[in-house]
Structure 1
Amino acid sequence: MKSNYIKQVLLIVTIVVLGACSEDFSEKKPTEFVDYDGATKTTENLMITLNGIHRSLYITYEDQSQAGLGGLMQQTDIAGDDVVFPITNGWFLQVYNWSALSNENSADIRFPYRTYYRIIRNANTIINATDTAIGSVKDKNIVKGQALLYRAFCHFQLVQLYGKRYVNGEANSQLGIPIILTVGNGNFPRSTVEEVYAQINKDLDEANILLAGYSKPNNSHLNLKVAQGLKGRVALTQGNWAIAADYANKARSGMSLMSVADYGAGFNNYNNKEWMWGSHINEVQTQYFGNFGAYMSRNFSSTVIRSCPKAINSKLYNLIPPTDVRSTIFSKDGSHPNLELTSVFVKFPYTSQKFLAIGTGDSRCDVPYMRAAEMYLIEAEAKARLGQADAATILYDFEKARNPEYVLSTNTGQALVDEILLQRRIELWGEGFRFFDLKRTNSALDRTGANHDSGITNGVMIVPSGDKRWQWLIPKVEIDANPLVKQNEL
């Protein structure tokens, strides 16, 4: 696939792999240019490349707002209805007002396309070389299994953005995205949505076998729990309820939900017992004004945060009981008394302090990609859609950890599904799920009656389900480089 985004040779090997890698490889020096044979000869070298992928999840790309997966998470929540811009701000504003989604020249739609395919290319470098590399079977399984997860995850994110939604029971012959399984520069057309999901599941199933028994050194690495969690996440999107429930249950088995005290501590420590996968931002590798915390925290002193702090949809906030710890991570009047914000921090109602940076002068904040809480919610939703009796009990087990006053729900059927979807909105706010959840459930975007300002959203307050803008345009530079790729409806 001849692309401006995935044409790079071993991009990840050029990145410093220090803090996000295991101790075995923490002494390796960064390499600016490494030949393919040298990078793939041994499993040790492949592990260095894998550590480079871990590191690439939080590097800055074309501009400081495009900070790896953290920036991509911001995009897919900002495009939804639950993150609110209280004032006009240039950061992802065209995503917030949906103008970027239908502009094939927009940097905002280039960002995910380029980023995910770069990760895929480097994952393919590992996958295609592992079997012939020098090293033990155990090491081969570890490095290949994680690379397969990266490839599956990136194809999954891409097809959700640029393809039409997957509909269980239908042919899903609509165009998805190019499936890239090699490192070469060949051109590939867009595969169907069905074909993309088939490849995603093939990679996930192999990773679930290869990573059995692997004990990862830290949460930047991907183990069997992450493989199971991704399998459950994908199955939920496909409407494969039984598979989603089964794998989500496996993924959360043996894990504990965080305490009420930990929940309000700032979502900035990837050692939290509930986190399954995340990035740790250490001082040596900080991106300063490009960190996730420089945009999504409330306490770092950046222009974005001081002038345009992120707020929660007021209608959603008002559905959170005062006895629920999650009501404490948003400030209804915007004062945030425990943060002692100075006068330079403009105050707006319903602003978030879910994510906290290390301090006003240090934007570092670890980034969560998967938590046990999501697995509870996947299992509960899938079982509710199947009509299984224990769906409400699973929801209760989850909710009790957030709200000690919560009582077992008597809802059944769609009412129970709706209750669980509400809990997803509250629990996963700011973690990159809302746009995808709206799209997979074929729901309309509805920002009306809340604290969204139609002047800031450029009038985009309602977008019906099925609107062509739910399918982001393919970047024009990609189409120019690869004539086999067809554009979505303009």
Structure 2
Amino acid sequence: MKTLNKTILLVVLSILSLSSCSEDFLVKKPTEFVDFESATSTTANLFSLLNGVHRSLYIRYEGQNETGIAGCMQQVDIAGEDIVYPISNGWFLGVYNWNNLSNENSQDVAFPYRTFYRINRNANTILEAVDVASGSDADKKIIKGQALLYRAFSHFQLVQLYGKRYDATAIPNNQLGIPLVLKVSNEQLPRATVEEVYKQINKDIDDALALLVGYTKPNNSHLDLRVAQGLKARVALVQQNWPVASANAILARAGKSLMSTTAYTSGFNSYTNSEWMWGSFVNELQSESFANFGAYMSRNFSSTVIRSCPKAIFNKLLDPFPATDVRSTIFSKTGQHPNITLVSTAVKFPYTSQKFLAVSTGDSRCDVPYMRIAEMFLIEAEAKAKMNDATASQILFNLITTRNPAYVKSTSTGQTLLNEIYLHRRIELWGEGFRFYDLKRTDSPLDRVGPTTVPATTSNHIASVALVMSIPAGDKRWQWLLPRSEINANPNIVQNPN
């Protein structure tokens, strides 16, 4: 892969470069640019670069909808069955109908590839400089720990999209993964195996766990020990390493509280929420306006896509949840939203979401959630259920009673209990970038028709809009095609089956 080398220039203070992983920075030196040596010579400057990485998570890259991790989160959920397009309109329609996921020339497969390798490259830039920079060892540990987590997170997202699923019964997983990029160079790397990628992901996380002990972060846009433990739990869940997943989920949520029902209905738009572990604060001066997360996933901002094609929830997911469950109240079965302000031209469809609310109809800012305490409860419950640990139902009960006081502790075991955990995971994490990954890691099919046992007998997915209503587990389409531009730049990369 052709990447940045040390002779090119870096943006500091606010953001890092937005160029592709197969392109170079502009070789200019205006006042907002400094040379590599100056930008990386001290821990103070490296903190500025690290802040640039934090900021890069929610900035616009190319297309209007391609706004950092927030855009990738949308793709991951839109490719599943729990987000519904009520009409044939809106961005990422080619992801919703899966057409663009098996088109190597599609921007939809290029966007996450470039996004996560950008983050990875910037993390490597920091990692190569931190040990020799001027500054305290304590500062170096904080910088290095967060950069390692960014590298692990980037490789983790990429291998889930472009590699085959990890199978704990087939170790070592020698199927093709992704290029494992561990330094800043122009080296054209082949795809590492899935096993090699996960080995490196875990090494980076483990190193970060040691480095971030005792670090108190200034706000939730930064990465700390809790985030490292949460990421370790996520990775272990994908690798079906149930004991490690459970143990780290417990550590990650220790001392943190779940949000109140009042907070749950307040719009999922503040990274100061007691339950958030990691998220992006969208500053008014750095807003991306019509490219913000809230310009696509909120219910109230006045953008073309929200006015004409607001995101809806799969009716067969929502219908089993009672009115006493607060999560059922942030979706409207009728399409009416009496408690929020909509512009007069907003079209109303049944089952639309009001989970995410922007600042106003004219301000699309909405902080972006990347990791919450609720996810840690769900990871622990799933992992313990997989281990036949009798406390799994209690862990689920501890979470769900904060959402639904009338919830009765499950007496189910085995697959029935797992199915209940999965159902709660789907509605709890709706719109937060998990569904495609969850279907793939559990080796489950895509099913937009849904079960006939729930009250709604007809799916609200419209076949002429979705085009794809079902895809079998293990189908080759679960591996997104790598972008043609990257294959052209790197002859050592092998394409996925098409």
Per-residue deviation, 1:342: 3.7
Per-residue deviation, 1:34: 2.2
> Is contact 2:277–2:372 with CA below 8 Å preserved after alignment?
yes
Name the residue aligned to 1:396: 397
Name the residue aligned to 1:282: 283
> Is contact 1:152–1:200 with CA below 8 Å preserved after alignment?
yes
> How many residues end up aligned between the 2 structures?
476
The 1-side partners of 2:430 and 2:422 are apart by 12
Change (3 A) 1:7 1:381: farther
Name the residue aligned to 2:144: 144
Name the residue aligned to 1:374: 375
Name the residue aligned to 2:65: 65
Name the residue aligned to 1:453: 462
Name the residue aligned to 2:294: 293
The 1-side partners of 2:238 and 2:297 are apart by 26
**Equivalent residues in 2 for 1:40-51, closer than 5 Å:** 40-51=40-51
Where do 5+ consecutive residues of structure 1 fail to align?
18-29
TM-score normalised by length of structure 2: 0.94
Output the amino acid matched with 2:313: I
> Is contact 2:294–2:358 with CA below 8 Å preserved after alignment?
yes
TM-score normalised by length of structure 1: 0.95
Where do 5+ consecutive residues of structure 2 fail to align?
17-29, 450-457
Q: Deviations over 1:45-103 (max 9, x none)?
A: 11111000000001001111001111110000000000000011140000000011100
Output the amino acid matched with 1:147: A
1:144 match: secondary structure: helix
Name the residue aligned to 2:474: 466
The 2-side partners of 1:338 and 1:330 are apart by 12
Change (3 A) 1:6 1:61: farther
Name the residue aligned to 1:23: none
Per-residue deviation, 1:345: 0.6
Q: Deviations over 1:350-397 (max 9, x none)?
A: 000000000000000000000000000000000000001111110000
Output the amino acid matched with 1:148: L
The 1-side partners of 2:187 and 2:56 are apart by 24
> Is contact 1:12–1:53 with CA below 8 Å preserved after alignment?
no
Change (3 A) 1:61 1:391: same
Per-residue deviation, 1:7: 11
Change (3 A) 1:94 1:207: same
Per-residue deviation, 1:13: 3.1
**Equivalent residues in 2 for 1:315-464, closer than 5 Å:** 315-448=316-449, 449-458=458-467, 460-464=468-472
Name the residue aligned to 2:491: 483
The 2-side partners of 1:272 and 1:55 are apart by 19
Output the amino acid matched with 1:454: A
The 2-side partners of 1:92 and 1:8 are apart by 37
> Is contact 2:15–2:56 with CA below 8 Å preserved after alignment?
no
2:371 match: secondary structure: strand
The 2-side partners of 1:244 and 1:6 are apart by 37
> Is contact 2:11–2:34 with CA below 8 Å preserved after alignment?
no
Name the residue aligned to 2:236: 235
The 2-side partners of 1:15 and 1:187 are apart by 30
> Is contact 2:7–2:36 with CA below 8 Å preserved after alignment?
no
1:53 match: secondary structure: helix
2:247 match: secondary structure: helix
Identity over aligned pairs, percent: 66
The 2-side partners of 1:455 and 1:139 are apart by 55
Name the residue aligned to 2:117: 117
Greater shift, 128-137 or 173-182, is seen at: 128-137
Q: Deviations over 1:303-351 (max 9, x none)?
A: 1000000000000010111100001100000011111424301000000
The 2-side partners of 1:257 and 1:314 are apart by 26
Output the amino acid matched with 1:266: G
> Is contact 2:325–2:404 with CA below 8 Å preserved after alignment?
yes
Name the residue aligned to 1:22: none
Per-residue deviation, 1:163: 0.1
The 1-side partners of 2:490 and 2:238 are apart by 29
> Is contact 2:54–2:221 with CA below 8 Å preserved after alignment?
yes
1:359 match: secondary structure: coil
Name the residue aligned to 1:302: 303
The 1-side partners of 2:195 and 2:238 are apart by 12
> Is contact 1:12–1:122 with CA below 8 Å preserved after alignment?
no
**Equivalent residues in 2 for 1:111-260, closer than 5 Å:** 111-170=111-170, 171-260=172-261
Name the residue aligned to 1:39: 39
Greater shift, 199-208 or 7-16, is seen at: 7-16
1:194 match: secondary structure: helix
Per-residue deviation, 1:130: 1.1
Aligned structure 1 segments of 4 or more residues deviating by more than 4 angstroms: 5-12, 14-17
1:456 match: secondary structure: helix
Output the amino acid matched with 1:238: Q
Name the residue aligned to 2:96: 96
Output the amino acid matched with 1:58: Y
Per-residue deviation, 1:146: 0.2
The 2-side partners of 1:34 and 1:11 are apart by 6
> Is contact 1:11–1:122 with CA below 8 Å preserved after alignment?
no
1:338 match: secondary structure: coil
The 2-side partners of 1:288 and 1:6 are apart by 33
The 2-side partners of 1:197 and 1:345 are apart by 45
Per-residue deviation, 1:184: 1.1
Greater shift, 30-39 or 139-148, is seen at: 30-39
